Amino acid sequence: MVEETPWGLRNVGVPHYEQFLHPVIKKNYGKWAYHEHVKPGVIKHVAESGDVLYTIRVGLPKYVSTQTVRELCDIADKYSQGYIKFTSRHSATFFATDEETVDKIIQEVESKGFPVGGTDHSLKSIINCVGWTHCHTAATDSPSIAKALYEALYDYFKSYDKLPERLKIAVSGCLNMCGATHASDIAIIGVHRKAPRVIDEDVKAFCSVPALVKICPKYAIRPKKGDPRSVEIDEEKCMYCGICYGECPGLPIHDPKNDGVSIWVGGKVPSTKKGPMNSRLVIPYLPNNPPHWPEVVDAVKKIVDFYVKYAEPDERLGETIERIGWEKFFKLTGIPFTDKHIDDYVFSYMEFRKGVTFKHT
Ligand code: SF4
Ligand code: SF4
């Protein structure tokens, strides 16, 4: 935002959000009486003043071209008084003050191939990180997995009453979790399973050995015996995080044979009911199998089927599992419990279930 300061006109940060609010929102800010879900993707908001505003949610892919953004803005100019909101879950929201305009917006965006949905008890837009396309630490192709999952679960996005509560799915290409996977009901996270390779010539040409020794969170990197201008990695200590590859192109971690994905469940952000929850590992490894990712899709469908069948109304996936017990979750989904599920992180004892009671089925 450009503002007059004692030093002249200066850019002083992001513009105040208020100037971007739709006029009906601005007028009734903080004075809303209620809202209702009138159809998939459409929420009717009613203000204490009697004003009505419909919001229409449209699913978008992670990447959209400038041309697509222009097309969406044209629709906003035509029906939405020039207002459009892009959400952090890869959706766009349009605004309308009457039902006729709602239908026109839905018709126009769907004619361009963008589905309207993702509100109330539905599958929200699947979010994903950039994956292989832009990131050097990715162990998988996050956007491609998100697309395969969308295709399998599309009906849940287009409906608003087939799920017990909202369902959030996210895909991250590696354990850095840029796709908000720690707090999603179902998370797909790329995993490396081998320590980085060391290319001595590249380490010597491009990298600082002290910086590499310092950057490893597990102290697994040390100067190479007999050749201290390069490094060696203690594979016992390495946790395959890929941080050293970001520092040095001489330590590539990609491994087409061993890289793959893990599946985690039960994360959520809201403070309702059980409060915020972190997702937990349920499947330690599935192979990378593009373009349709059958193993990942089957596993996620199995978990969603479990959720639909066993959750109580208004219960998130993690809450259902906590209620019936993790033993029963593994049994009902048929997912094997292995030694990989036991968390050996030094501070993880805080999270351990300390009671002696097991919920046997
Ligand atoms: S989660 Fe990993 S692969 Fe995805 S963008 Fe972040 S660092 Fe890159
Ligand atoms: S991948 Fe991570 S843990 Fe392994 S050597 Fe590199 S920085 Fe250390």
What's the per-residue H, E or C state across the chain? CEEEECCEEEECCCCCHHHHCCHHHHHCCCCEEEEEEEECCEEEEEECCCCEEEEEEEECCCCCCHHHHHHHHHHHHHHCCCCEEECCCCEEEEEECCHHHHHHHHHHHHHCCCCECCCCCCECCCEECCHHHCCCCCCCCHHHHHHHHHHHHHHHHHCCCCCCCCECEEEECCCCCCCCHHHCCEEEEEECCCCCCCCHHHHHHHCCHHHHHHHCCCCCEEEECCEEEEEEECCCCCCCCCHHHHHCCCCCCCCCCCCEEEEEECCECCCCCCCCECCEEEEEEEECCCCCCHHHHHHHHHHHHHHHHHCCCCCCHHHHHHHHCHHHHHHHHCCCCCHHHCCCCCCHHHHCCCCCCCCCC
The pLDDT score that the predictor gives to residue 250 is 96
Q: What is the pTM of this model?
A: 0.90
**Closest ligand relative to 197 C-alpha:** 2
Q: Answer whether 239 contacts ligand 2 (Cβ < 6 A).
A: yes
Q: Answer whether 138 contacts ligand 1 (Cβ < 6 A).
A: yes
Percent of the chain with pLDDT over 70: 98
**Ligand 2 pocket mutation, candidates 176, 232, 244, criterion most atoms within 8 A of CB:** 244
Q: Answer whether 131 contacts ligand 1 (Cβ < 6 A).
A: yes
The Å distance, Cα 174 to ligand 1 centre, comes to 5
The Å distance, Cα 138 to ligand 1 centre, comes to 6
pLDDT tens-place string over residues 6-56: 777 777 777 888 989 999 999 999 999 999 999 999 999 999 999 999 999
The pLDDT score that the predictor gives to residue 358 is 62
Q: Whose CA is nearest to atom 2 of ligand 1?
A: 174
**Ligand 2 pocket mutation, candidates 233, 234, 258, criterion most atoms within 8 A of CB:** 233
What domains, with CATH codes, occur in the chain?
A: 16-111 (3.30.70.3340), 127-193+258-351 (3.30.413.10), 200-247 (3.30.70.20)
The pLDDT score that the predictor gives to residue 348 is 74
The pLDDT score that the predictor gives to residue 360 is 53
Q: Answer whether 196 contacts ligand 2 (Cβ < 6 A).
A: yes
pLDDT tens-place string over residues 304-324: 999 999 999 999 999 999 999
**Ligand 1 pocket mutation, candidates 127, 136, 172, 262, criterion most atoms within 8 A of CB:** 172
Q: Answer whether 140 contacts ligand 1 (Cβ < 6 A).
A: no
Intervals of the chain under pLDDT 50: 361
The Å distance, Cα 124 to ligand 2 centre, comes to 34
